[in-house]
Amino acid sequence: MPCRQNPAEAPGMTMRLLFLPLVLSLSACVVVAPVPLGTVTMPGTASTKSDGRPLTACPAPADAASLRASALAQINARRKAAGLAPLRRSAALERAAQSQACDNAARGLYSHTGADGSDLRTRMRRAGYAFRTGAENTAMGFPEPGRLTEFWMRSPGHRQNILLPAARDIGIGIADGGRRHWVMVAGASR
């Protein structure tokens, strides 16, 4: 039976006691969730959370390795069809790509500029890649590499990056931040 007492007539303590069950029931809504499986730690990334703290974990899909391999195979098939040499996987470029994918996922957008203002050149240097040329593609929302590669090939700028004749190496970053975030970094070292 609901309380219908006029609040103006109730003593202050009675009103506080009336709100106690509400406060206790709302406090039970707090959930502590474990870090999901498939999370990769990205030391040295410049990403920050909305509260300004650094991002140290990046949710990666459990099948990230197979997604990377599939994306690389599709990119190299497009390069072969254009008469270009295949790209080799580079650990350094993968670090640069993964760092930006994590950064984009943390911010819920896709961008070529890092949260710290970094550009592709800066990220390639940070990853330890001594480059003479580099290119980057980003995308968000493609669950699998087939549709992603088709999208990039239909976009003149992205297509140009995939078919960059001077490129020899590639890194692919994948992060899940509500939507799947992809970053491809292609380059040629000195």
- For the segment 77-112, what is each residue's pLDDT rounded down to a tens digit? 999 999 999 999 999 999 999 999 999 999 988 899
The pLDDT assigned to 56 comes to 54
5 pLDDT tier (thresholds 50, 70, 90): very low
Q: Which pLDDT belongs to residue 60? A: 87
By the 8 A CB rule, do 105 and 40 touch? no
Query: The pTM is what?
Result: 0.70
- From the CB of residue 15, how many other CB atoms can be counted at a distance below 10 Å? 11
Give the DSSP H or E segment for 185: strand 180-189
Radius of gyration from C-alpha coordinates of the chain: 24
- If one counts every other C-beta atom within 10 angstroms of the C-beta of residue 46, the result is 19
Q: Domains of the chain by range and CATH?
A: 63-189 (3.40.33.10)
118-163 confidence digits (pLDDT tens): 999 999 999 999 999 999 999 999 999 999 999 999 999 999 999 9
What pLDDT does 18 receive?
A: 44
pLDDT of residue 149: 97
Whole-number pLDDT of residue 125 = 94
In sequence order, what E strands does 23-107 have?
Answer: 39-41, 57-59, 88-89
CB-based contact 149:103 (threshold 8 Å): no
At 7-48, the pLDDT tens digits run 444 445 444 444 334 333 332 222 222 222 233 333 333 444
